[in-house]
Structure 1
């Protein structure tokens, strides 16, 4: 341990490991202003930060640390208003996110995610009662999932859903997400993502790895014409987007939904207001590096509005998905993906306004004598302002 925060950049193009100073080694929320500034700048520069050895981090400290990244976060103004995007919207019975964990009772901004049944006295279960967690599986979300033979015998898996953490209705996207691995399966089993799109691309990763891609690198890979399009385009998201897409299914790479007309009809959604529909730039500018990031939640988009010399051109749902997919697909090629292999105690902080990420893998709790139980604490809090594009 040292007396200052140490940043060790990855050799993979983005990502870094942080070693905390002695005084905050067990609780990064206690970093002084100088060291927190270094952590903040490392997160927005390297996009994905790993701090090892934090398995005992309290939910209250995780919340304080997460909130510290964004001074614009408003304080809750009324009883029952969480402001962090995991309230009624995410727990609605028709939402695709309804099974994605449960809240920590003492700190509801922190979510408990994972796989398996955890008794009341098990580490990480803060709720004083047994909880049952389900790891998201592409088999229930994709239109053409892998077969059981491919999953078990060929050890194949898929990107579940590439996304940005955000309610995408009423609330602004969180600046960062913190994700703490308290109980994780041994990193001894590997699985393979077969893109199954004729590219021949395959990505080997450890079971349950969380995958990230850089929105800045995604923007840089665009052609000059695509960059111009992205810089002049607004992404309009559906009202109550996770309920809107619930009856639909995703394509094989988890970037967008398949257009089959199965989405929930607008008049069948919970009550919504036009002013609360999120219309966000396709490109968000990093406030530390000044780089442009291509930031699109492809599964939840509804329309694209592009400013042209002759006015505004709008692409409706099917065409918007096709356009977004064509621009996003190069970013998730295996050579561009950072697949984080979890170790117990890893605290991952990622710049949610600068990366896309995806769950991977098939976890079953126990399987063939292997312990596949997993328990994690996640925290992200809606920002007080939308991200913007700063044009030169």
Structure 2
């Protein structure tokens, strides 16, 4: 994986927050070398809390996010959870003071998300994620975190021998969103507070092609959904531009008994899903039906943006409706090229890295696993938007 080195930088001269004396500094975006998306951000001198940037600076930060899709701000290990919440919320003026983007789904005892983290008591929109036991963190006496791994989610996990040989998987390619009742968040922020040795690597094998990539242990993978769209045939582009994706009610509970494909793109259809009558109470009006393509409001480019694990139906522009298994197969066909090595960036976490990603412009996935005794602690925040994304033709 390419290191974050010293490529050409793009510099935007900005005014500074009122509490900063030196006004001759600038905000810099350094594209990540060799990656199809992402940039490292250098904040103006003296600015240690990006949530406090003045309006002009913040507009440039948001524009950079929607242009580069993933931003990394190093040295943020002391960022307070309330500042992280304020930063995340500020990226979308339509969102309210609501909770985590899928709080009820995250905590339900039958959800696939139920073991993935705990909430900061005084800032519940911020989730604590990671691996291992921690004491006296954010007012909590003791917490035990569990890094999600493909062993609990994939239909055919890696063998013991493959694990011994250093292999891992993309866990689940997804959008951070309830996909029921709430609109997808615009931005997710993810902060690395306690991070193991970032030089340790693992391997992912593409089972259908035999290709392999080497990544940092438990790196976060990001998919360019602009490339996902632009690499389609002209016929497929016209089709997806007119397609509506219907998600299952309470989708994370619906899919909980099922298992995923080995690339983490969608689910294997074996009839194991939770029957609708066994789901928590739901309303037809809250079932999410979203366009398959979302248009970036800054760049005008199209993003092929579909959560393949939660898809229930595809409503095609010719009036045909693809049901569960056929919908999954079609999503997999369309999205599989988007996770080719040239279309993804896997971030190697360092202590203090704050990643901001355009949740309406990328898909992402957990990778990797930790050895006994290894620990990691991270803070994540995203907040449901007040409006659904749209396709602009």
TM above 0.5: yes
Unaligned runs of 5+ in 1: 77-81, 367-371
How many residues of Structure 1 are paired with residues of Structure 2 in the alignment?
370
Map of 1:114-263 to 2, 5 A cutoff? 114-120=130-136, 125-151=137-163, 153-197=164-208, 199-263=209-273
**Contact (CA 8 Å) 1:4, 1:35: kept in 2 or not?**
no
Provide the C-alpha distance between the structure 2 equivalents of 1:127 and 1:231, rounded to a whole number of angstroms. 48
Equivalent of 1:358 in 353, 365, 368: 365
Listed one character per residue, the Cα deviations across residues 194-252 of structure 1 (whole Å, up to 9, x for unaligned) are: 1222x011111010100001111110000111111100100000000000000000010
Map of 1:366-377 to 2, 5 A cutoff? 366=373, 372-377=374-379
**Contact (CA 8 Å) 2:36, 2:344: kept in 1 or not?**
no
TM-score (norm 1): 0.93
Unaligned runs of 5+ in 2: 1-21
Equivalent of 2:79 in 37, 45, 57: 57
Shift of 1:112: 0.2
Provide the C-alpha distance between the structure 1 equivalents of 2:283 and 2:268, rounded to a whole number of angstroms. 26
**Contact (CA 8 Å) 1:162, 1:297: kept in 2 or not?**
yes
Shift of 1:128: 2.6
Provide the C-alpha distance between the structure 1 equivalents of 2:104 and 2:174, rounded to a whole number of angstroms. 20
Aligned twin of 1:101 = 117
Aligned twin of 1:291 = 301
**Contact (CA 8 Å) 1:162, 1:356: kept in 2 or not?**
yes
Provide the C-alpha distance between the structure 1 equivalents of 2:323 and 2:173, rounded to a whole number of angstroms. 21
Shift of 1:85: 2.5
Listed one character per residue, the Cα deviations across residues 251-297 of structure 1 (whole Å, up to 9, x for unaligned) are: 10000000000000000000000000000000000000000000000
**Contact (CA 8 Å) 1:115, 1:365: kept in 2 or not?**
no
Equivalent of 1:268 in 270, 278, 288: 278
Listed one character per residue, the Cα deviations across residues 363-384 of structure 1 (whole Å, up to 9, x for unaligned) are: 1352xxxxx2100000000000
SS at match of 1:270: coil
Provide the C-alpha distance between the structure 2 equivalents of 1:22 and 1:117, rounded to a whole number of angstroms. 36
**Contact (CA 8 Å) 1:210, 1:359: kept in 2 or not?**
yes
Provide the C-alpha distance between the structure 2 equivalents of 1:116 and 1:127, rounded to a whole number of angstroms. 17
Aligned twin of 2:16 = none
Provide the C-alpha distance between the structure 2 equivalents of 1:329 and 1:31, rounded to a whole number of angstroms. 39
SS at match of 1:5: strand
TM-score (norm 2): 0.92
Listed one character per residue, the Cα deviations across residues 6-47 of structure 1 (whole Å, up to 9, x for unaligned) are: 1112232311000011232x2111111111111101100000
Provide the C-alpha distance between the structure 2 equivalents of 1:225 and 1:279, rounded to a whole number of angstroms. 22
Provide the C-alpha distance between the structure 1 equivalents of 2:96 and 2:140, rounded to a whole number of angstroms. 30
| Segment of structure 1 superposing worse, 186-195 or 283-292 | 186-195
